[in-house]
Structure formats: C-alpha cells, structure tokens
Amino acid sequence: MEKPSYIRFIRSKVAEAKIILNAACAVIDDGTGRILLQKRTDNHKWGLPGGLLELDESIVEAVRREVKEETNLDIEPTRFIGVFVNPMMRWRERDEAEVICFSFVGEVVGGTLRINDDESSELRYFGRDELPEIHSVDNRQTIEAYFANEEHLIEGRRF
C-alpha cells in the first residue's frame, strides 16, 4: 500500500500558504563530463533529477526514490555536494515554498534511462558549456558546485 503524500497532507492544512520543504537531487555524470538533466512538464525548463522528501524518509532514500521515479535509474549517492536554498519555488500559480535541497553526486547502479513519470518531458545529458536554462536557484548552485568540484557547501559557502 502506497503511503499518502506528505505534501498533499500539508497543503490540505495550509492551502497555498508559503511553506518550507526539504528536497534531494542528484548530479549524474555519463562518464564524459556531461550531466543528466530533466525537462520539466510544468515550466518547460531543465533541472536535476530529484524532488521533495516524504514523511519518515531519509534524504538518501528520497534521492534514490525521486531519481528512480523520474529517470528509471537506480543510483547510489557517492558524494555529498551541499545544501542549497531556493527561497521561492512556485508550482502552479500560487503554491509557494522555500525549498532546502540536499545535493549529491549519484552513480548509476541499475535501470535503463527513460522518462518514468509525468513530471518529465525529456531526459538528456549536457556538458558544462551547453547547459540550458535551469529552473531553480538550488539546482543552478548545485551544478556550479559540482563543476567547481566543491563539496559540503551551505548556500555556496564551505563549512
């Protein structure tokens, strides 16, 4: 039996008021320096595979689940990149949140790359010099930190 969505539960209590949410994402490299991005169906912009944590789910469980849901890939987080904050994420027109994102490098350990949900319209690897517009500040900061080979960052600063 599938667990009820924590986000739907919270939204049933606070409607569209701005809330704080936790997320996890993964930078997945194809071995040639290109990283996997997904084109989102909601805003038609690109971002890293990942998403929001559910209640009683660890950050690592969330990144594995979200990557699987979106790409059909099984990953193992191999390196922590950092924590990045998106002060204003908006879904639909009025569903707003401050998103705290935990970012990892993910190694593919199984699965075959394919669109696996209705949140993605395209999956593609991009090199550093060919990146498209990235949909959120936390994803942009994660990608920048990855290519700069930085790790253990909070809002772009070492700790």
CATH class as words, domain 6-158: alpha beta
**139 pLDDT exceeds 70?**
yes
Distance CA 140, CA 51 (A): 15
Distance CA 84, CA 100 (A): 6
Distance CA 69, CA 146 (A): 23
Q: What pTM value is reported for the model?
A: 0.87
pLDDT, one tens digit per residue, over 28-65 is 999 999 999 999 888 889 999 999 999 899 999 999 99
Active site residues: 122
Cβ–Cβ < 8 Å for 109, 76: yes
Which sequence spans correspond to the domains of the chain? 6-158
Task: Using DSSP bridges, classify how beta strands 153-154 and 73-91 pair: parallel, antiparallel or unpaired.
Answer: parallel
pLDDT, one tens digit per residue, over 66-116 is 999 999 999 999 999 999 998 777 666 667 888 899 999 999 999 999 998
Cβ–Cβ < 8 Å for 139, 47: yes
Q: Which of 79, 89, 86, 101 is nearest to 146 (CA)?
A: 79
Question: What pLDDT sits at residue 153?
Answer: 47
CA 104, distance to chain mean position in Å, is 9
Backbone angles phi, psi at 43, to 5 degrees: -125, 0
